[in-house]
C-alpha cells in the first residue's frame, strides 16, 4: 500500500479551512528566511500558499545571507512581542554565520509552531506535547489516517536529529510503540532495521534503505530529501526495490513532505486558539 501523504495533506487542509472559518479566528504566521537557498525559498513559498488556502494570514521577513545572529534575534524578539502574530517559523537550515541554537531558543515557546524550542521538545518527551515538530507530527497523522497500528509495535527510527529523529521517537513512544533510535555509530543497523514494524528513515542518503533492511509487511516512512544521479528528487528508501517487501510505504515526492506543511498550518491554528483561550499561562 502506498501511503499518499499528498492526499492526506489535502484532506487535512480542507478540514482545517472549515475549522478556521467556524472558529471566527484569523490566525497569523510569520516566516523568517535568511539567505537565498532555492529549496528554502520554495518551501517558504509553499507555506505562504497553504496559509492563503486555509485562511491564515501570513507575513514573510527576508534577511540577507550575511545577516548576523543579532539581527535575526532582533527580528524574532519583535515578532514575539507582536500581538498580531500567533506563530513564528524560521526556515532551516540557517546560513553558517547564524547561531541556530540561539535563534531557536529566542522564539517564544507559545509561538513556536515548528516545535523546535527546548520547552516544546521537553514537553514532547515528557508525554505532554504542545507543539511537536511538523515533519514527525505529520508522519503520525499519516499513520493514523491509514490506521497503521502503533501501540505495542516495534518502531525503528534511523537518524537522531533534533528536528526529526528524536521527536519522531518521542511521538512513537507516546503512542506506546517500543522504539529504537539508530544512528551512524549503531553496530548492526541492518539487523536493527529488519526488526521494525514501523521503519522511519531520516538519514539524507539516496537508496540508503534497501529491501534487505525491511521486514516483510513493515510500514516504511521515508523522510529523506535527496537527488538521484539524474538530479531527480528521491528519498532515503530505494522505493522500487522496497515497495514489494513493505506492507505500506511513503513515496518521495508525495509522502512526508506535504504533511510537514499541513501540520504547520494545524500548529498555527492551535497557537491562535491557545492565545484566545489564554490556556498558555501554564507556561
Catalytic site positions: 47, 91, 114
Of 159, 86, 184, 165, nearest to 125 by C-alpha is: 165
Q: Which residues bind ligand LMY7XDAE (CB under 6 A)?
A: 43, 46, 89-92, 114, 134-135, 225, 233, 252-254, 257-258, 260-261
Residue nearest to ligand LMY7XDAE (CB): 257
**Separation between Cα atoms, residue 238 and residue 52, nearest integer Å:** 35
Strand blocks (E) in 38-148: 57-63, 87-90
Other residues' Cβ atoms within 10 Å of the Cβ of residue 21: 11
Q: How far is the CB of 253 from ligand LMY7XDAE (least distance, A)?
A: 3
Between 92 and 162, CB nearer to ligand LMY7XDAE = 92
Q: How far is the CB of 178 from ligand LMY7XDAE (least distance, A)?
A: 26
Name residue, grid cell 482545517.
16
Between 260 and 268, CB nearer to ligand LMY7XDAE = 260
Q: Are strands 87-90 and 57-63 parallel, antiparallel or unpaired?
A: unpaired
Between 58 and 260, CB nearer to ligand LMY7XDAE = 260
Q: Known binder of ligand: residue 161?
A: yes
Q: Known binder of ligand: residue 101?
A: no
Strand partners, 227: 233
Q: Known binder of ligand: residue 102?
A: no
Q: How far is the CB of 239 from ligand LMY7XDAE (least distance, A)?
A: 12
DSSP codes of every residue in 154-194: EEEEE---TTTHHHHHHHHHHTT-EEEEE-TT-TTHHHHHH
Between 165 and 192, CB nearer to ligand LMY7XDAE = 165
Between 189 and 264, CB nearer to ligand LMY7XDAE = 264
Q: In what order do the strands lie in the sheet with 154-158?
A: 178-182, 154-158, 198-201, 219-222, 248-249
Q: How far is the CB of 213 from ligand LMY7XDAE (least distance, A)?
A: 21
Q: Are 61 and 103 in contact (CB under 8 A)?
A: no
Other residues' Cβ atoms within 10 Å of the Cβ of residue 151: 9
| Binding-site annotation: residue ranges | 159-161, 225
Amino acid at each position: 500500500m502506498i501511503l499518499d501523504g499528498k492526499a492526506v495533506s489535502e484532506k487535512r487542509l480542507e478540514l482545517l479551512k472549515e475549522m478556521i472559518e467556524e472558529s471566527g479566528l484569523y490566525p497569523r504566521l510569520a516566516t523568517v528566511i535568511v539567505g537565498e537557498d532555492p529549496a528554502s525559498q520554495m518551501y517558504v513559498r509553499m507555506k505562504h500558499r497553504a496559509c492563503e488556502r486555509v485562511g491564515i494570514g501570513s507575513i514573510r521577513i527576508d534577511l540577507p545571507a550575511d545577516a548576523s545572529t543579532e539581527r535575526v534575534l532582533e527580528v524574532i524578539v519583535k515578532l514575539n512581542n507582536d500581538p498580531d502574530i500567533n506563530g513564528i517559523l524560521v526556515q532551516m537550515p540557517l546560513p553558517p554565520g547564524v547561531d541556530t541554537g540561539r535563534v531557536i531558543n529566542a522564539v517564544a515557546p507559545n509561538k513556536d509552531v515548528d516545535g523546535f524550542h527546548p520547552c516544546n521538545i521537553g514537553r514532547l518527551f515528557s508525554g505532554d506535547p504542545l507543539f511537536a515538530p511538523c515533519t514527525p507530527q505529520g508522519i503520525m497523522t499519516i499513520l493514523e489516517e491509514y490506521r497503521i497500528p502503533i501501540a505495542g509495535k516495534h518502531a525503528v527510527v534511523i537518524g537522531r536529529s533534533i528536528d526529526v529523529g528524536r521527536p519522531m521517537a518521542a511521538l512513537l513512544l507516546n503512542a506506546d510503540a517500543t522504539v529504537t533510535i539508530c544512528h551512524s555509530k549503531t553496530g548492526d543497523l541492518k539487523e536493527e532495521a529488519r526488526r521494525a514494524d514501523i521503519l522511519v528513515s531520516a538519514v539524507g542518503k539516496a537508496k540508503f534503505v534497501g529491501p534487505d533492511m525491511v521486514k516483510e509487511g513493515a510500514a516504511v516512512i521515508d523522510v529523506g530529501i535527496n537527488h538521484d544521479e539524474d538530479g531527480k528528487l528521491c528519498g532515503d528508501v530505494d522505493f522500487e526495490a522496497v515497495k514489494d517487501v513493505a506492507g505500506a510505504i511513503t513515496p518521495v515526492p508525495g509522502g512526508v513532505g506535504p504533511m510537514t506543511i499541513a501540520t504547520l498550518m494545524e500548529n498555527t491554528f492551535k497557537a491562535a486558539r491557545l492565545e484566545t483561550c489564554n490556556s498558555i499561562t501554564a507556561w
